[in-house]
Chains A and B, each alone.
Chain A
């Protein structure tokens, strides 16, 4: 087998930072090749170099043994490589049809014939069996549909090599399965793929070979079959780390968080939930199960139609976050970029928002006391930062999430609710974050972990599985992946 895509000795600098330092990758014709590495390992830079958006300072890129096209020749690049970026490149206010043929709506410079364009779009989507209305506005599609549209568009330029940059990050279980089925069928048609993901199990499921980057360098390339997961993790982190081991603990008796008869139209109905001190309870289910809506109700981001939430013995007014926090609740919201932190403010300020009133008098926040508290949190959570004054926007995904955790934990909460705590963070950060939840439980807090990741749920004393808005099963510790997934998919009673 010949190499479909090859990058040799690529060096790329951004000012003083070296993003890629003699990195290489070789992807054989027709294989699905994983590229993994921790945040900042250089994966994204390699993607922009392989797609021609950035030019390497040194080194070369080859497609089927031939040198890459000139940097300005976008059309030539797109005939060779297609990419579904992490950030959506769909324009929400335009229709699906127009998005598919953006900047090539008509041949030459004549007027656009919208009817013909819709026909071409429908034909293209049919080719790849994508069932989406071409006249729908792209902004109204689900994440999954949007991704399929992007894949179809990427392939429509005739490229036989496609890069998928963390495509599963925002998909739920069944959607991921459908994506994988599609990837397998593309592979059967001879399409070469480069697959980037933080999920090692996905690499084992869908890829034939794997390349690991660390600190801007190529570490290893190996066939996936027979490669022990420990070795892969070792290559990524540069040190021997075993998989995270959940700790044993005995939950107390006192109920610190209780929801009774909670219903919210279109989200969930008749939910009763109670969490004891020192207990970690998981909430699992597909994206439509209502688990996030339920968690947001517990923390006060959403009000329920009926039912009550009691935090630490205090009945909390529905939809009132300050009241819930006053009662002793800390939480990590679903999307850290939206609700987790203020990017331009410092680590210290972000971490101490909930206790600002305790750091000074008469509405004045004492900077020195804030720094002190922030330093404490930075040490406790091992946040990699220059100090409390660095803006959160400068931190990597994992460290930014630690700041969100710091905000949740800064007031030593009696109840901790975390939603997708490890989304988009690397292996080591993931372990630190899960450790932080377990630490809080050991200090006597009751915790709720809402997650799409089975690994996150492993630290839970029990997992409540939701299906179509109802809690269908209470699974004690010791479940197998298969067992839990089956309940989540509603296959089994």
Chain B
């Protein structure tokens, strides 16, 4: 009884392994550029990461439940774009249906939910490989943005969709409040609610979860739908920040999303990791991005550094964890 105690106490802080890294980044950043540690710059970092962090939240839950979703990044652009096109007149690139502009946010969320539900349908009902299904959906859903817009950027957007991504609440961007609140809900839900814990059970040992009376299929559907909704919300925030919906919105995000989740301690094999850990992963990536930009590293070279960070993080966790990774 006495021997394992110290290890356990360490295990409890596993979520926080990236906190020292964040501190180091803050110190290094402060030395490299005096503007780094200003409120303005740090707010900027948070706002830039707000949208992508929602994808990390979604992906972390999906990974913990032992599944996979690549298509989230396409939903980011497509869900708000379709919602906007349902609302704006044909002259502005819409379908000319004339739906009220206030509906645009609910519509975007519904589109996201529908994409998630379709993923779930193929993966759970037809028992197809999550990797291949969502890879195909990544391509299809992005095509659903390019097709109707014919590759054009949507500029004339209803006021309501711009609000959340551009407003300030109590001096901080609304997007940061929203992301923070959702992460808090996620941390609580996966830590303290039965439904949240069932994600760990399903990802850890699906047969055991079923034998324990967990409604596995229903929970998995829920996770995929929630993932789609969060991706759509990320798209809404990003739309507000940029003021337009371009054809490339969200494209390429998924790699960063996986990187953040994995260095934050979420296992690709399911059943392991926490939302708090995933959040620290997002922050690390955001800070690195910011520092690289501030010290003037060319955007063309930055991918090399991101990739290296992922590899180093994996090696550190391999050495700290002592177990071979699959």
Residues in B with CB closer than 8 Å to A92 are 204-205, 271
Q: How far is the CB of B262 from chain A (nearest CB, A)?
A: 16
The reply to whether the CB of A135 lies closer than 8 angstroms to some CB of chain B is yes
Q: How far is the CB of B15 from chain A (nearest CB, A)?
A: 13
Q: How far is the CB of A431 from chain B (nearest CB, A)?
A: 33
Against A, the Cβ 8 Å flags (1 = close, 0 = not) of B229-255 are 000000000000000000000000000
B197 touches A112 (CB 8 A): yes
**Quick one: which of A78, A85, A94, A106 contacts B201, CB cutoff 8 A?**
A94
B residues 178-231 touching A (CB-CB < 8 Å) = 188, 191-195, 197-198, 200-201, 204-205, 207-209, 211-214
The reply to whether the CB of A297 lies closer than 8 angstroms to some CB of chain B is no
The reply to whether the CB of A414 lies closer than 8 angstroms to some CB of chain B is no
The reply to whether the CB of B132 lies closer than 8 angstroms to some CB of chain A is no
A89 touches B211 (CB 8 A): yes
Q: How far is the CB of B219 from chain A (nearest CB, A)?
A: 10
**Quick one: which of B11, B188, B200 contacts A111, CB cutoff 8 A?**
B188
Q: How far is the CB of B48 from chain A (nearest CB, A)?
A: 32
The reply to whether the CB of A87 lies closer than 8 angstroms to some CB of chain B is yes
Q: How far is the CB of B94 from chain A (nearest CB, A)?
A: 42
B214 touches A91 (CB 8 A): no
Question: Given that A89-B211, A133-B4, A137-B11 are contacting pairs, would A111 and B201 also be in contact in the complex, using a CB cutoff of 8 Å?
Answer: no
B1 touches A91 (CB 8 A): no
Task: Identify the closest chain A residue to B5 (Cβ).
Answer: A133
- For the complex, what is the distance from the CA of A53 to the CA of B193, rounded to whole Å? 26
A111 touches B192 (CB 8 A): yes
A103 touches B193 (CB 8 A): no
The reply to whether the CB of A90 lies closer than 8 angstroms to some CB of chain B is yes
Q: How far is the CB of B192 from chain A (nearest CB, A)?
A: 4
Question: Given that A89-B207, A91-B200, A94-B201 are contacting pairs, would A103 and B8 also be in contact in the complex, using a CB cutoff of 8 Å?
Answer: no
Residues in A with CB closer than 8 Å to B193 are 109, 111-112
Residues in A with CB closer than 8 Å to B11 are 137
Give the total of B residues in contact with A, Cβ under 8 Å. Answer: 27
Residues in A with CB closer than 8 Å to B267 are 93
Residues in B with CB closer than 8 Å to A131 are 1
**Quick one: which of B188, B197, B211 contacts A53, CB cutoff 8 A?**
B211
Give the total of A residues in contact with B, Cβ under 8 Å. Answer: 29
The reply to whether the CB of A470 lies closer than 8 angstroms to some CB of chain B is no
Task: Identify the closest chain A residue to B193 (Cβ).
Answer: A111
**Quick one: which of B4, B194, B208 contacts A89, CB cutoff 8 A?**
B208
Q: How far is the CB of B220 from chain A (nearest CB, A)?
A: 15
A residues 95-133 touching B (CB-CB < 8 Å) = 98, 102-106, 109, 111-112, 114, 131, 133
Residues in B with CB closer than 8 Å to A106 are 194
A93 touches B200 (CB 8 A): yes
Residues in A with CB closer than 8 Å to B188 are 111
**Quick one: which of A91, A103, A104 contacts B204, CB cutoff 8 A?**
A91
Against B, the Cβ 8 Å flags (1 = close, 0 = not) of A53-71 are 1000000000000000000
The reply to whether the CB of A178 lies closer than 8 angstroms to some CB of chain B is no
The reply to whether the CB of A201 lies closer than 8 angstroms to some CB of chain B is no
Q: How far is the CB of B1 from chain A (nearest CB, A)?
A: 6
B271 touches A103 (CB 8 A): no
- For the complex, what is the distance from the CA of A103 to the CA of B205, rounded to whole Å? 13
B197 touches A90 (CB 8 A): no
B213 touches A75 (CB 8 A): yes
Residue among A78, A94, A109 with most chain B CB within 10 A? A94
Q: How far is the CB of A231 from chain B (nearest CB, A)?
A: 36
B271 touches A91 (CB 8 A): yes
- For the complex, what is the distance from the CA of A103 to the CA of B211, rounded to whole Å? 10
**Quick one: which of B5, B191, B208 contacts A102, CB cutoff 8 A?**
B208
**Quick one: which of A88, A103, A112, A136 contacts B212, CB cutoff 8 A?**
A103
- For the complex, what is the distance from the CA of A90 to the CA of B197, rounded to whole Å? 14
B204 touches A74 (CB 8 A): no
- For the complex, what is the distance from the CA of A94 to the CA of B197, rounded to whole Å? 9
Task: Identify the closest chain A residue to B202 (Cβ).
Answer: A91
B212 touches A102 (CB 8 A): yes
Residue among A74, A85, A90 with most chain B CB within 10 A? A74
Task: Identify the closest chain A residue to B197 (Cβ).
Answer: A105
B208 touches A112 (CB 8 A): no
B residues 276-292 touching A (CB-CB < 8 Å) = none
Task: Identify the closest chain A residue to B188 (Cβ).
Answer: A111
A103 touches B192 (CB 8 A): no
Q: How far is the CB of A93 from chain B (nearest CB, A)?
A: 5
Q: How far is the CB of B8 from chain A (nearest CB, A)?
A: 5
B201 touches A90 (CB 8 A): no
**Quick one: which of B1, B204, B214 contacts A94, CB cutoff 8 A?**
B204
Identify 16 residue pairs between A and B in the complex whose beta-carbon atoms are under 8 Å apart, listed by A's number: A91-B200, A91-B204, A91-B208, A92-B204, A92-B205, A93-B267, A93-B272, A94-B200, A94-B204, A102-B214, A103-B194, A103-B214, A109-B194, A114-B192, A133-B4, A136-B4
Across the A-B interface, the 5 shortest Cβ-Cβ residue pairs: A91-B204, A89-B208, A111-B192, A74-B213, A102-B212
In addition to A92-B204, A102-B209, A112-B193, 12 A-B residue pairs with Cβ atoms within 8 Å of each other are A53-B211, A85-B211, A89-B208, A91-B200, A91-B201, A91-B209, A102-B201, A103-B197, A103-B198, A103-B214, A111-B192, A131-B1
